[in-house]
Chains A and B, each alone.
Chain A
Amino acid sequence: MRNKLHALWRTFFGDSARAFGSASVILLLLLAIAPAKNHFSQWRHYQKQYLHLIRGRADAVTLERHFQGGIQQIWMPEQQVTDRCTTCHLGLKEASLADVSSVAFREHPVIPHKLTEFGCTTCHRGQGAATTVEEAHSATEQWEQPLLPAKYIEAGCGQCHLENQTGTPFLNQGRQLISNSGCTHCHTIKQADGTYIMPDDDPPSLKHIADKTTRDWVYAWIKDPQAYASTATMPNYHFSDDDARDVSAFILAQSTPLQPPLQPPLQPLKADAKAAADPAAGTTLYGQSFCASCHAMQNAAGMMVGGNVGPELTGIGTKAKPEWLQDWVANPNHYDPATMMPHYRFDAQQVATLTGFLESKTEPDFVANVHLDGATPQQIEHGKRLVVENGCASCHEINGIKKPENFAPELSRIGSKPLNQLIFVEGVEHTLPGYVAGKVRNPRAFGPSLKMPQFKFTPQQIDAVTTALLALTDRAQSQPPTMRIASVQQTKYQPAGNAGQLMRDLRCLTCHMIDGHGGDMAPDLTWEGTAVQHEWLTQFLKNPETLRPALIRRMPKFNLTDAEINTLADYMMTVYQTPEFDRDSLPVSQFGTAQVEQGRQLFYSKFACQSCHIADYKTDKGYIGPALAGTGKRFNAAWVYRWLKDPQALRPGTIEPNQHMTDDEARSLTAFLMSLKSGGAQEAMKK
């Protein structure tokens, strides 16, 4: 063995010539390491593969002309982009490579931006400057931001687009959920445009809770809100039996009686009268008042029917005391001046009927197993401590407890949070999306003493909320403002004077938008005074007719007095006018019968309006748009004409297609529509 080694040594380094030669070879080899490393580098391998791929294709010549070897880079210092992704992703701009199965070489799916506009990492994250697969895509010790999983990709859009976009349904949904679930009662979220995401869940004040419900109900509710109403947005705090006992004790103890106090029920609604009262009358009044536009209720078949503006009413009889229900139905302002619920002007009989109907909607099982003894002072004291510790006053008004400031961490930059500032637990993926999704899914898994409660989200909702949170990045905050598309903020518009007071009492803005303030459940009324005729508006407020037969949400009847109706109609006709044109600028007297006839032809043949609208209840059936049989009594001709010419100019976002009519066509159609003067749907159906 030894001899052999010795012989080998002699062969290569035996004399000076041999030694010199061998040393040179070794040196040469050492010098070759760097170029060889380069030569065998991963990206070269990809470029070779790419060339191999394109050479086999029909448009090889074009593709080869586009190909550039070596390290490629998109560099945009002001946007902090240094992306070398295109070194390997060589086919991103090649439309003919849309069918390639390898993601590395495929055309980038169509998006509204050029790839060179924002680079890659702006949306996808990852390490742009890296040139190996591992470093570019995965988290490393120096680089914490791995590639964003595809399901959260809309977070990329949300960094600049603070308003809703058609192409980002999950981001939109996530932002909506953050508002609707009230996340921002506790967490501050300041967006890059300086606006705040505001909570939109309207949690009730608890200052007079004892007038409204019982301690048993409160106990059962805080144990499991969704057991009472599957649609409830209040999260679950996982209180122990003892803690729930003490919290309910305190909540009831802090309650003060309403002023003026509730009246005892007008009639003995509870027992005998309920049976005596006509059960159908309640159902009918509930239906006629369109309570279901805002409130959901489970029907006999177990289906949830109704809107989600107000709370679900399936078990309202178990929750609310009869005297409170009666007071609330008569005038909700008494108990809660800030409620979104309108003040229907029900007469005493109607109040009794509706109260009886709602009292009969019970869920006795919900409180059946609650057996609480009278509360001791210690329990109340302990309950108060729990209420403070859990930040209940972040959402609810509670006597003697101030709304805590910054109760939970601010989330304005959660999408860039360094991982070393986060505490992970088992079962949660060690990435930022993993952490955020884990927190949204099951916050208490991160430690039993943590305060964040458990929300009821479906897996898809968790992904949506996570998407919206991941959009809140450092990049979003530090970008030049010109790149930002600001969020749409509501104005503070309020109608003025007597009419304004009336409109607030009726909560018109809960459903209608006026001057950029209000709900989106019913038509925008900003220009209603230009659109409609005074006489029609008066009639409509007196007896809201059905304009859209296929709609379940409708304008309720508020039982207004004539004087109230006049106040409203006068105000709307005077104030809600467009500056663009005069409502009287197209007198109907101009139209001759020939023009009406021509309009009729256009309506039924060229434009086939009857596929969506009803002009004549006997022949037409279309019900995507409102019925037009009463247009001549409802609208002003100038409005109809302008609408036909460009519907989106009068109501942005309306789905009525712009038919690109000539002036003559629009005029004839207006003549025809203004000649339609039959009554509303119900009237027509009766005929």
Chain B
Amino acid sequence: MKQVLIAVCAVTLLMAGCSRKSKQPALLQATATGTAIVESSGGKQIGYAGMPLDQPVVVQVNDASGNGIAGAAVCFSGPSGVSFTPASGLTDSSGQVTSAVALGQQAGRYKIMASTRDASGKTIELNLDEIVLGYQQTVGAQLNAQYCVRCHDPESTPQRVSNMDNLSVKPHPFTEGDTLNKMSDADLVAIISHGGPALNKSPEMPPWGYTLSKSDIAALVSYIRAVADPPYEAGGLVYAQK
């Protein structure tokens, strides 16, 4: 009996959830419709399980000539465990809606979606990826910030000036999946442990195998895999809406 009750509850809840989701944009009373929805900022962030992302997600609804339009209804959704504040909204005068996002409790890649309706009522969608790091990848992220980022990231901040311009061979940022995804785990471990010459590359890539432990280097590899863009195929779980 209890089980039946639970099942009934679950089904009702599910239905309630679905219907709420689909009704939301309508509830908002859009005063305008656009023809496209684009990302302004907030995609591809690296976050931590269950925590809000550093930056909110900002999306923009455009008209046919690519200008933002005010008053279009935007609805955010994602796999279970992802929350948006607010979950829907009307675009402001510059055509944008901003939402703070907290990702789920598990490490992996989260596919989130922002949608709006065009004049004919058809839904137009924008998909964004966000990344949650697990323990090992967090270790990798910390080690990267300490040992690698100044050579591998072209961007400078006042606290951390990039050294990339000073190198005669340019290393790749770890997000560059096009290059790094082609390297096997063993190759990554080899070049990180023994330096560029291990793969017939430049000695400007130093060897870290006598400074970092094996598990540190494994952590760096798992971090590199987690942040790759395009994603590394075996790069862990992907959470998307069912």
Are the C-beta atoms of A166 and B204 separated by less than 8 Å?
no
B89: min CB distance to chain A, Å: 19
Q: Does B123 contact A (CB under 8 A)?
A: no
Are the C-beta atoms of B135 and A111 separated by less than 8 Å?
yes
Partner of B167, one of A103, A605, A611: A611
Q: Does B206 contact A (CB under 8 A)?
A: yes
A166 proximity list for chain B (CB < 8 A): 139, 142-143, 216
Q: Kindly identify, within residues 177 to 211 of chain B, every residue whose CB is under 8 Å from any CB belonging to chain A.
A: 202-204, 206-211
B86: min CB distance to chain A, Å: 16
B216 proximity list for chain A (CB < 8 A): 166
Assuming the contacts A166-B139, A608-B203, A621-B166, asked whether A460 and B51 have C-beta atoms less than 8 A apart, the reply is yes
A605 proximity list for chain B (CB < 8 A): 203
Q: Does B26 contact A (CB under 8 A)?
A: no
Q: Does B163 contact A (CB under 8 A)?
A: yes
A166 to B142, CA, bound (A): 6
A567: min CB distance to chain B, Å: 34
A200 to B68, CA, bound (A): 49
> Which partner residue on chain A sits nearest B3 by CB separation?
A40
A206 to B167, CA, bound (A): 53
Assuming the contacts A169-B138, A611-B204, A648-B211, asked whether A622 and B158 have C-beta atoms less than 8 A apart, the reply is no
Are the C-beta atoms of B151 and A169 separated by less than 8 Å?
no
A607 to B197, CA, bound (A): 10
Total contacting residues, chain A, CB less than 8 A: 39
Q: Does A26 contact B (CB under 8 A)?
A: no
Are the C-beta atoms of A150 and B158 separated by less than 8 Å?
no
B70: min CB distance to chain A, Å: 28
Are the C-beta atoms of A622 and B49 separated by less than 8 Å?
no
Are the C-beta atoms of A606 and B203 separated by less than 8 Å?
yes
Partner of A657, one of B48, B210, B236: B210
> Which partner residue on chain B sits nearest A551 by CB separation?
B161
A607 to B195, CA, bound (A): 10
B163 proximity list for chain A (CB < 8 A): 611-612, 622-624
Are the C-beta atoms of A660 and B207 separated by less than 8 Å?
yes
A185: min CB distance to chain B, Å: 28
> Which partner residue on chain A sits nearest B141 by CB separation?
A169
The B interface is mostly helix, strand or loop, or mixed, namely loop
B205: min CB distance to chain A, Å: 8
A515 to B92, CA, bound (A): 58
Report the contact-size class of chain B (Cβ under 8 Å from the partner): 35 or more
A659 to B139, CA, bound (A): 23
Are the C-beta atoms of A153 and B49 separated by less than 8 Å?
yes
Q: Does A170 contact B (CB under 8 A)?
A: yes
A151 to B104, CA, bound (A): 9
Q: Does B241 contact A (CB under 8 A)?
A: no
Partner of A109, one of B107, B146, B204: B107
A134: min CB distance to chain B, Å: 10
> Which partner residue on chain B sits nearest A661 by CB separation?
B210
Q: Kindly identify, within residues 48 to 66 of chain B, every residue whose CB is under 8 Å from any CB belonging to chain A.
A: 48-52, 54
B192: min CB distance to chain A, Å: 10
Assuming the contacts A109-B136, A167-B135, A655-B146, asked whether A621 and B165 have C-beta atoms less than 8 A apart, the reply is yes
Q: Does B134 contact A (CB under 8 A)?
A: yes
A650 to B159, CA, bound (A): 25
Are the C-beta atoms of B48 and A170 separated by less than 8 Å?
yes
Q: Does B105 contact A (CB under 8 A)?
A: yes
> Which partner residue on chain A sits nearest B106 by CB separation?
A103
A658 to B165, CA, bound (A): 24
Are the C-beta atoms of B50 and A150 separated by less than 8 Å?
yes
A655 to B207, CA, bound (A): 12
A516: min CB distance to chain B, Å: 22
Q: Does B99 contact A (CB under 8 A)?
A: no
Are the C-beta atoms of B166 and A150 separated by less than 8 Å?
no
Are the C-beta atoms of B50 and A149 separated by less than 8 Å?
yes
Assuming the contacts A166-B143, A624-B151, A659-B210, asked whether A150 and B49 have C-beta atoms less than 8 A apart, the reply is yes
A598 to B167, CA, bound (A): 22
> Which partner residue on chain A sits nearest B234 by CB separation?
A99
> Which partner residue on chain A sits nearest B134 by CB separation?
A109
Are the C-beta atoms of B161 and A623 separated by less than 8 Å?
yes
Q: Does A77 contact B (CB under 8 A)?
A: no
Q: Does A92 contact B (CB under 8 A)?
A: no
Q: Does A400 contact B (CB under 8 A)?
A: no
Q: Does B215 contact A (CB under 8 A)?
A: yes
Q: Kindly identify, within residues 150 to 179 of chain B, every residue whose CB is under 8 Å from any CB belonging to chain A.
A: 150-151, 158-159, 161, 163, 165-167
Q: Does A56 contact B (CB under 8 A)?
A: no
**Mask for B114-158, Cβ within 8 A of A = 1, else 0?**
000000000000000000001110110011001100110000001
> Which partner residue on chain B sits nearest A172 by CB separation?
B142
Most chain B CB inside 10 Å of its own CB: which residue of A112, A608, A623, A656:
A608
Q: Does B8 contact A (CB under 8 A)?
A: no
Q: Does B88 contact A (CB under 8 A)?
A: no
B48 proximity list for chain A (CB < 8 A): 151, 170
**Mask for B87-102, Cβ within 8 A of A = 1, else 0?**
0000000000000000
Q: Kindly identify, within residues 78 to 118 of chain A, every residue whose CB is under 8 Å from any CB belonging to chain B.
A: 98-99, 101, 103, 109-112
A157 to B139, CA, bound (A): 14
A103 to B80, CA, bound (A): 13
Report the 7 A-B pairs with minimum CB-CB distance, sorted nearest first: A151-B50, A621-B166, A150-B105, A658-B210, A150-B49, A608-B203, A611-B204
Q: List 23 A-B contacts (CB under 8 A).
A: A98-B236, A109-B134, A110-B218, A112-B215, A150-B49, A150-B50, A151-B51, A167-B136, A167-B219, A460-B51, A460-B54, A605-B203, A606-B203, A608-B202, A608-B203, A611-B163, A623-B166, A648-B211, A657-B208, A657-B210, A658-B210, A659-B206, A660-B209
Instruction: Given contact pairs A151-B51, A167-B139, A552-B158, enumerate 4 new A-B contacts (beta carbons under 8 Å).
Output: A153-B49, A167-B138, A167-B219, A648-B211
User: Which residues of A line the B interface, CB within 8 A?
Assistant: 98-99, 101, 103, 109-112, 149-151, 153, 166-167, 169-170, 305, 459-460, 463, 550, 552, 605-608, 611-612, 621-624, 648, 655-660
